[in-house]
Structure 1
Amino acid sequence: MIRIKVAFCIKNLAKGTEKVRQQLITDPDMDVVEYGCTSYCGICRNYHVAIVNGKPIQADTPEALLENIEDYIDNELIDQL
Structure 2
Amino acid sequence: MDVQVNVAFCVKNLAKGTEQVRQELIKDPDFRVAEYGCTSFCGICRNYFVAIVNGNPVTADSPDELVDEVYAYVDEVIFKDR
SS of aligned partner of 2:79? helix
TM-score when normalising by structure 2: 0.94
Number of the residue aligned with 1:4: 5
Q: Percent identity?
A: 58
Number of the residue aligned with 1:15: 16
**Runs of 4+ deviating beyond 6 Å:** none
Whole-Å separation in 1 of the counterparts to 2:62 and 2:80: 27
Whole-Å separation in 1 of the counterparts to 2:81 and 2:52: 16
1:1-81 matches, within 5 Å, as 1-79=2-80
Whole-Å separation in 2 of the counterparts to 1:80 and 1:18: 31
Aligned residues: 81
- The unaligned stretches of length 5 or more in structure 1 are none
Whole-Å separation in 2 of the counterparts to 1:31 and 1:49: 16
TM-score when normalising by structure 1: 0.95
| CA shift digits 1:29-62 (9 cap, x unpaired) | 1100000000000000010000000110000100
